[in-house]
Structure 1
Amino acid sequence: MSRQAEAHPAWDPAQYGVFGDERGRPFADLLARVDLVRPALVVDLGCGSGELTASLAERWPDAVVTGLDASPDMIEAARGHALRGRLEFRTGDVADWRADRPADLIVSNAVLQWVPGHTALLPRWTRALAPGGRLAFQVPGNFAAPSHTLLRELCRSPRWRDALAGTVHDEPVLDPSGYADLLAREGCQVDAWETTYIQILPGEDPVLEWVKGTALRPVLSALGPADTAEFLDAYRDSLRDAYPRTPYGTVFPFRRVFVVAGRPGP
């Protein structure tokens, strides 16, 4: 099993897509800051189920676009978007990816938080860019939010710590300044920023449904059915207190960190 597959256990494309519009908005905001006109090769590292990767092929119809993801289930779903000669999807670990030829754009959307030591990958990825190319990525920055602190506390409680040791991490990403410093030292021109989306989610226990598609995946993969039900009951109660339901929905602030790094042109 690859390192990324270990970090992405039992991904469920349907669950991940429950809040597809909300999850897609940061991707659109990231790509809005990419100023390439006619890239020849675009690579999406951690492409998931492929809908967003397909939008890259729509934006740049002359480009060859490749999506890579460690989850066979995600790649199976993504291949429904494939276009012969223009858009392809492959199973693979982003930590092991090597460029066959220089890429004009490397995109990584909500992936690097799952990759241990990902800051060591970023310089290598910038060196895989063609002159004038761009590296664009975004990661969640909400690891201090109740959705994550409550999850960590529960996983590390006496009831669960033996079964769930190592499944969640405190702060696996840098802030915008950290990424800007890292990539500027590599000679890149860096645009780094953060945004907090104030999302109003519908339905009953929507924050739980949200994290079932992402942060909870390692936990759900580690537990059997009976333990899963017990764990979710306890976590649900905590989330209800932290994110109370209102007549118009549940307010879920969602911080994201964005970076676009450009390799100097010829």
Structure 2
Amino acid sequence: MPWNPNSYYQFKDIRFKPFYDLAELIVGDNVLDAVDLGCGTGEQTAILSEKFTNINFLGLDSSAEMLSDSYNLQTERLKFRQSTVEKFVAEPSTWDLIFSNAALQWVDDHRVLFPQLISKLKLGGQLAVQMPYQPENILNKILFELGNEEPFRTYLNDWNRPSPVLDIDTYAKMLFENGLDQLDLSLRVYPLLAADADTLYNFITGSALIPYFERLEQAKKLEFVDEFKTRINKHFSKFPNIYPFKRILLYGRKNKSINSQ
């Protein structure tokens, strides 16, 4: 996907707060090697590297555009590489820390993905993941509903993207059953003050709208955007307004191999 770092970080404050909340869950002792999945521009990975000075970090992202400036941040303990999460889980490497902030919502089938990620943790290793809780976020709901309706369903050739993000109870069960303990799971609201519908449109245009735009010709894209903004106005009815953006934070440590249970 043609990610645009400038569009994505237009709302940097609200995008960084859950990152800091997730980073606070990490225990830095006895951690040597860590990977940041979906590291984006690498700025957050660099912050982690500065916070945990005893850890070697590798930042992975599938987007060349997002990674373009990250290589300037590289140090002896901080490296970056272009790769997908799917390629990562297929590699034989194991890690003391697998970190991912606002990235795994782009990867399908979490019932398969999370056991794969946990299998790549060393004994005592930590998993720390944050994702937008798309099933309950209004903008994601409006977007999915719009993609299922005509004429946009035809414009998109019957394509739509249901969120792979599961409910928190399911993640708790998966993490526990795959050998993690010291679990810390939460659903948090990060309110965005929206002056108008354009604010909310701009907030989602740098992320969830990207794969829809890829599939729409310019005239159809403009029609899609116009209807999307109309529905935002209809739902919120008046501005300024608060958008209660929900995110799910997941943390656990590997206490044993699943094969030993």
* Paired amino acid for 1:208: Y
Name which of 207, 210, 224 aligns with 1:231: 224
1:155 aligns with 2:147: yes
1:233 Cα offset (Å): 1.0
Q: Structure 1, residues 21-74: CA drift from partner, whole Å, max 9, x if none?
A: 101111111111122235211100111111111111011122211011111111
Q: Structure 1, residues 58-98: CA drift from partner, whole Å, max 9, x if none?
A: 11122211011111111113223222x21111111111214
Q: Structure 1, residues 119-153: CA drift from partner, whole Å, max 9, x if none?
A: 31222222222221101101111323331222122
In the alignment, the residues of structure 2 paired with residue 88 and residue 144 of structure 1 have an alpha-carbon distance, to the nearest angstrom, of 35
Moved over 6 A (4+): none
Q: Using the aligned pairs only, state the percent identity.
A: 31
Partner of 1:3: none
Gaps of 5+ in 1: 1-8
In the alignment, the residues of structure 2 paired with residue 19 and residue 146 of structure 1 have an alpha-carbon distance, to the nearest angstrom, of 17
Gaps of 5+ in 2: none
Partner of 2:77: 86
* 1:149-188 equivalence runs, <5 A: 149-164=141-156, 165-169=158-162, 171-188=163-180
Q: Is the 8 A contact 1:177 1:192 kept in 2?
A: no
Name which of 243, 248, 254 aligns with 2:245: 254
1:128 aligns with 2:120: yes
* 1:1-266 equivalence runs, <5 A: 9-37=1-29, 39-83=31-75, 85-98=76-89, 101-164=93-156, 165-169=158-162, 171-189=163-181, 190-202=183-195, 205-246=198-239, 249-264=240-255
Pair 1:101–1:153, CA change in 2 (3 A): closer
RMSD over aligned Cα atoms: 2.0
Q: Is the 8 A contact 2:7 2:205 kept in 1?
A: yes
Q: Is the 8 A contact 1:244 1:250 kept in 2?
A: no
Pair 1:202–1:87, CA change in 2 (3 A): farther
Q: TM-score, normalised by structure 1?
A: 0.88
Q: TM-score, normalised by structure 2?
A: 0.90
